[in-house]
Structure 1
Amino acid sequence: MSGKSLISIILALVIIIVVSNSVYIVKETERAIKLQFGEIVDTDVKPGLRFKIPFVNAVRKFDARVMTMDGRPRDFLTIEKKRLSVDAFVKWKIVDNLTYYSATSGDEIRAADLLSSKVENELRNQFASRTLNEVVSGERDEVMKEVINNLSQVAQKELGVSIIDVRVKRVELPQEVSQSVYERMRTEREREARELRSRGFELAEGIRADADRQKTVIEAQAYRESEELRGEGDAIAAAVYADAFGKDPEFYSFTRSLKAYTESFNGKGDIMVLEPDSEFFRYLKGSKATN
């Protein structure tokens, strides 16, 4: 191989290396900064095909997507000095390239460590200002909202990241604390049950007394109305009887006697002891002609 051919090959390799080091691509899912001799000259390189000066410029790329930091469980104390084991995770993303690079040198692991420390401190403060019942069941959502609000400004100012969400996956209690919580919850539920039962008995007695009162009133009204109707009926019957008796007293007396005979002689073994000339046998003796 001649000297000119060797020089041509070397020159071509140099050109290829220079060109390959001059072109770079920033994806849509990435954020990037450009440095010149270690000094930042562009804090927000847009996605696309870009060029740089080899050996002069350097490009640092970061993941622009929402990332999840799932830390290990931590122990916190409540305001009652009761220990809790809390397992939480954080969703975050880079929003300020310059601040993020200055604080972490673009190292995602270092960023996660710094963020984890801040989240841990904020959770410790929130749990330390609340009771066990509040952080376990009563105010967990409120705790998370306050953690996010307090961390957002600090994380963006110091780390250049935005806190999207903070969630507690699990809160575990030591055995002795779990037992005391269970006993307190059981006592509270029993107290509520007694109150509800007592209130139910009170309402039942009130309803029963009102029903008895209404029953007495209804019965009294019904008795009064029945007596009034009975009195009116008796009066009407008496008037009818009197009117009928007044029209033909003899016929009325005759029908009454027939009814009395029917009722008296209905039984086969009946025995009656009467005077022969008793008025009872008046219509059985035969009728006498009257002038």
Structure 2
Amino acid sequence: MRLMCRHYLFTECLPMSAKNLSKIILPVVIVLAVLIVVLNSYTVISPNERGVKVTLGQVEGGVLQPGMAFHAPFVTVIRKFRLEPKTYEVSFSCGADGAITKDMQTVGSTVAVRYVYDENRIMDIVTRYLNDSVIQSAMRDNVKASLKETVGQYSIYDLVEKQNEVTGKVAQAVLDRMVDYPIAISQTTITNWDWSDDFDKQIKETANRAQEVKKAEQDLKLTQTNAQKKVAEAQASKDAAELTAEAELIKAQKEAEAKMAEADGIAYYNAKISQNMTIQREQWQHDEQMAYYEKWDGKLVPTYIPLTAAGGVVNLPSASSGAR
């Protein structure tokens, strides 16, 4: 009786547990399904991206700008294209794949092309090209063709000396060949030039000879500079001597002029003193004359008796004898 009761309870409880479980699972499945549908109904486009909506292989609308783009779930795909610079490198070996110069030398190199998608031609990428690999494949072929075409215009020695010119021509050739593709090429550089070991040896020997020639030129310039320095020093000494002599001459002339001025001053001083003495002497004579006149009583001396130095009387001739 107890076993039968237990069996009854188990059979009663089992349907109740499955029913409760189904009530829990069904809402969870619905929520998950809705969540999956919602998550597949929009795409976020970053600021440096642009998008194109493709539904079952057909392009819809125009280029999608940054932001949230809603679309039908599962059947619509948003293809996104990043508008950031990319670098594509193409390497050439020095062997059979290398470029041949004008003098029949084989060279290799690495060409790096920096480009970005043309925002105005995003639709062309989707409608005309499957993906970016098609553009890169075209770029690889065009870069090789541009390099080989340009290298064939130069000798291997010219490539060494005119690398900037060669790079510029290759860059222009790549631009011309890729003009129909929806990309904007901003820079093309050529690095890692490679050539045969024999030519590499020749370059080193040429560089050594060039260094020797340059050293000889520098030594010659040094000798010329020293000679010019000595000439300049001699000329400076000569100029200094001439300036010293000229200064001494000017000094002597100035001293002579000073002495002449001093002599003129002394002569003028003496003349003034002599003039003053003459004036003084005349003044003394005048004073003596005035003193004589003051003491004169108005009478003339009647007879003038001349005397000799010894005190004797001098006999003067008479007026009649003098007239005779």
TM-score (norm 2): 0.53
- 2:124 counterpart (88, 91, 99): 99
Q: Is contact 1:94–1:100 with CA below 8 Å preserved after alignment? A: no
Cα offset for 1:133?
Answer: 2.4
Q: Within 5 Å, give how 1:172-251 maps onto structure 2.
A: 172-184=194-206
Cα offset for 1:120?
Answer: 1.6
2:66 counterpart of 1:47: yes
- 1:154 counterpart (162, 177, 186): 177
- Structure 2 equivalent of residue 15 of structure 1: 34
Cα offset for 1:186?
Answer: 5.5
- Structure 2 equivalent of residue 62 of structure 1: 81
Q: Is contact 1:104–1:159 with CA below 8 Å preserved after alignment? A: no
Q: Deviations over 1:75-119 (max 9, x none)?
A: 22111111112122221111132233345422x444333322221
Name structure 1 gaps, 5 residues minimum: 209-291
Distance 1:31 1:182 in 2: 51
Please, what is the CA RMSD of the aligned residues? Answer: 4.1
Q: Deviations over 1:98-150 (max 9, x none)?
A: 233345422x44433332222121111111111222222x3222222222223
Q: Is contact 1:66–1:93 with CA below 8 Å preserved after alignment? A: yes
- Structure 1 equivalent of residue 103 of structure 2: 80
2:109 counterpart of 1:90: no
Name structure 2 gaps, 5 residues minimum: 1-17, 231-324
SS in 1 for 2:72: coil
Distance 1:59 1:127 in 2: 43
Q: Is contact 1:99–1:158 with CA below 8 Å preserved after alignment? A: no
2:45 counterpart of 1:33: no
Distance 2:36 2:135 in 1: 33
SS in 2 for 1:129: coil
Distance 1:33 1:25 in 2: 12
Q: How many residues align?
A: 219
| Percentage of pairs with the same residue | 16
Distance 1:184 1:190 in 2: 10
TM-score (norm 1): 0.58
Q: Within 5 Å, give how 1:92-171 maps onto structure 2.
A: 92-95=115-118, 96-102=121-127, 104-106=129-131, 108-136=132-160, 138-155=161-178, 157-171=179-193
SS in 1 for 2:114: strand
- Structure 2 equivalent of residue 268 of structure 1: none
Q: Is contact 1:103–1:158 with CA below 8 Å preserved after alignment? A: no
Q: Is contact 2:63–2:122 with CA below 8 Å preserved after alignment? A: yes
